[in-house]
A and B are shown apart, each in its own frame.
Chain A
């Protein structure tokens, strides 16, 4: 203390002020560049896994589970197991997959977003509607209303012009209601249980696009720092909701 004290008098106030100002500018710029800025930081809550009971790893689709119990011989096994049979016609193979989702509502967030049925891009990523006022439902995965699996709806947090509808997800709170309106006019209500922000490189895609397990709705957008070079944000924000009881 005593050693530095005398020096103080010698510091030019102007230069010191300039230094402080410059450092402040650096701080602001860093904050702006490194993610405090572009998208509002949204705290995580809940765990996407909450209430989502994972079943054991599903065996390769081609290989059905072995029935429990001893299997003395191949012959006995083959004889013991009598498979069900079904008609193999084209008509019988056609599956009714239920009505498609067409709108997402979140009254508490002021959200009323039309949905497009989307697939994958040429690069193998989930397709997102260009228009940030719309969102995409991943049509290859589960539908809202299906008995199991994660229905995925994703929207841009922004477009070149500014904020997108899904920016509102950063304001979502646990227990909020979000709803899906389907093409037949029916409405499904969900309760928000979790929000997670994850580095895109670490996003559990198999979990997000899970076709099994309890039914849930997962809303996805981007957050974190914008990389001009990559043309993308660093993180994904995933909001998980389960059917309202």
Chain B
């Protein structure tokens, strides 16, 4: 299975022209899975894809189910709920977003560090995990400075800035996570209990605005990435305690047979 090298968040500022989405294309797969996350506080929107209203009445802090889109180039426009695209200006837009076949993408409408609404297309790592492992992806999508993410009190991600991300594979477990200003102990988010399920990519977004006191966490999960254990070693040999004894018997028996056999042969020859 391919290993997606992430940290490929591509920020699409309003009005940006052409953006290629990083992420390897699968040779024989011409479709992509695209989820949309609304992480701009206080604004219900309608999302248009190539001029078609695709996600109406989209509330902040919500996520769409994955859309299957043919690979290609897409124009994304986000309008305030009810605005007419014929006359109104979009709140956020991006043209020519390249969606490669085989990719798993989350398109996030969120705030830039300075509080400007923006779109980011994140490539989600859907490579398979080993049995027992979980993946944690952390994304900074908030109007806030650099942060560290801690799990169980110790930093697992340091100096993450908007719109960056970091991906970790770790043992599946329930972890208590919080977000602090980078290099400090000042908690800005959490702690929150995250169930990092085995075989799942748990994607956590820090979103909202520090200044407005609207910081929050959003969580997206992609499951089905599990591997199987390599076997079931369910015996310790107690029943076969006779093993070495049998081996000795075998050798003794064989020696006896050879001896007796040779005597027979000698007699016959005589």
Among A28, A89, A120, A160, which residue has its beta carbon within 8 angstroms of that of B61? A89
Are A93 and B221 CB-contacts (below 8 A) given A10-B267, A88-B62?
A: yes
A25 touches B (CB below 8 Å): yes
Query: Is there contact, CB below 8 Å, between B55 and A83?
Result: yes
Q: Would you give the 0/1 interface string for B186-222, flagging 1 where the beta carbon is closer than 8 Å to chain A?
A: 0000001111011100100100000000001111111
Known: A12-B267, A84-B64, A158-B235. A22 touches B242 (CB 8 A): no
Q: Note all chain B residues with C-beta closer than 8 A to A162.
A: 238-239, 241
Asked whether B239 lies within 8 Å of A158 as measured between CB atoms, the reply is yes
Q: Digit string of A137-153 for contact with B (CB within 8 Å is 1, else 0)?
A: 01010000000000010
Interface residues of B in 1-60 (CB under 8 A from A): 1, 26, 29, 31-33, 35-37, 49-56, 58-59
- Return the chain A residue nearest B1 by Cβ: A60
B-side interface mostly: mixed
B131 within 8 A of A: yes
Binds A, one of B150-158, B161-169, B224-232: B224-232
The reply to whether the CB of A30 lies closer than 8 angstroms to some CB of chain B is yes
- Interface flag for B246 (CB, 8 Å): yes
Q: Given the known A-B contacts A28-B249, A228-B237, are A87 and B62 also in contact in the complex, defined by CB atoms under 8 Å?
A: yes
A86 touches B225 (CB 8 A): no
Interface string of B103-145 (1 = CB under 8 A from A): 1100000000000000000001010001110000000000000
A residues within 8 A CB of B197? 95
Measured in the bound complex, the distance between the Cα atoms of B238 and A157 in whole Å is 9
Contact mask A215-232 → B, CB, 8 Å, 1/0?
000001111011010011
B256 interface residue per 8 A CB criterion:
yes
State in angstroms the CA–CA spacing of A188 and B223 once bound together: 27
- Contact A75 to B64, CB < 8 A, known contacts A16-B264, A22-B254, A211-B226: no
Asked if A94 and B256 sit within 8 Å, CB to CB, the answer is: no
Q: Which of A44-52, A107-115, A177-185, A198-206 contacts B (4 or more CB under 8 A)?
A: A198-206
CB < 8 Å: which of B65, B225, B239 contacts A157?
Answer: B239
- On chain A, the residues within 8 Å of B225 by CB distance are 61
Asked if A21 CB lies within 8 Å of chain B CBs, one says yes
Checking B37, B224, B246, B257 against A22 with a beta-carbon cut-off of 8 angstroms, the contacting residue is: B257
Q: Is there a chain A Cβ closer than 8 Å to B91's Cβ? A: no
Closest-by-CB residue of A relative to B37 is: A88
Interface residue A69 (Cβ < 8 Å from any Cβ of B): no
Q: Contacts A83-B64, A126-B231, A140-B132 given: A62-B33 contact, CB under 8 Å?
A: yes
Contact of A78 among B66, B67, B221 (CB under 8 A): B67
Residues of chain A contacted by B54 (CB below 8 angstroms): 78-79, 81-83
Cβ of B259 under 8 Å from chain A: yes
Shortest distance from the beta carbon of A146 to any chain B beta carbon, whole Å? 13
Q: What's the nearest-Cβ distance from chain B to residue A127, in Å? A: 8
Interface residues on A, range: 35 or more
Contact A128–B102 (Cβ < 8 Å)? no
Give the residues in chain B near A89, CB-CB below 8 Å: 61, 216-219
Tell me whether B232 and A22 are in contact (CB under 8 A): no
Known: A22-B256, A138-B229, A157-B235. A12 touches B264 (CB 8 A): yes
User: In the complex, which residues of chain B have a beta carbon less than 8 angstroms from the beta carbon of A61?
Assistant: 126, 222-225
Asked if A11 CB lies within 8 Å of chain B CBs, one says yes
A88 CB, min distance to chain B CBs, angstroms = 4
B69 / chain A contacts, CB cutoff of 8 Å? 74, 77-78
Are the CB atoms of B229 and A88 closer together than 8 Å? Answer: no
Beyond contacts A22-B254, A161-B238, A209-B228: 16 other A-B pairs, Cβ-Cβ < 8 A, are A10-B268, A15-B264, A19-B264, A26-B254, A66-B68, A78-B54, A85-B58, A86-B63, A89-B61, A124-B130, A162-B238, A163-B238, A206-B228, A226-B235, A228-B240, A236-B231
21 pairs, CB–CB < 8 Å, chain A vs chain B: A19-B256, A19-B261, A23-B253, A26-B250, A28-B253, A33-B246, A58-B224, A60-B29, A61-B223, A64-B33, A78-B54, A89-B216, A119-B172, A155-B234, A158-B240, A200-B232, A203-B231, A205-B229, A205-B231, A220-B234, A226-B235
Instruction: Spell out B's residues near A (CB within 8 Å).
Output: 1, 26, 29, 31-33, 35-37, 49-56, 58-59, 61-70, 72, 74, 102-104, 124, 126, 130-132, 172, 192-195, 197-199, 202, 205, 216-226, 228-247, 249-250, 252-261, 263-264, 267-268
Residues of chain A touching chain B, judged by Cβ–Cβ distance below 8 Å, are 7, 10-12, 15-16, 18-19, 21-30, 32-33, 37-39, 58, 60-67, 71, 74-90, 92-95, 119-121, 123-126, 128, 132, 138, 140, 152, 154-164, 166-167, 200, 203, 205-206, 208-209, 211, 220-223, 225-226, 228, 231-233, 236
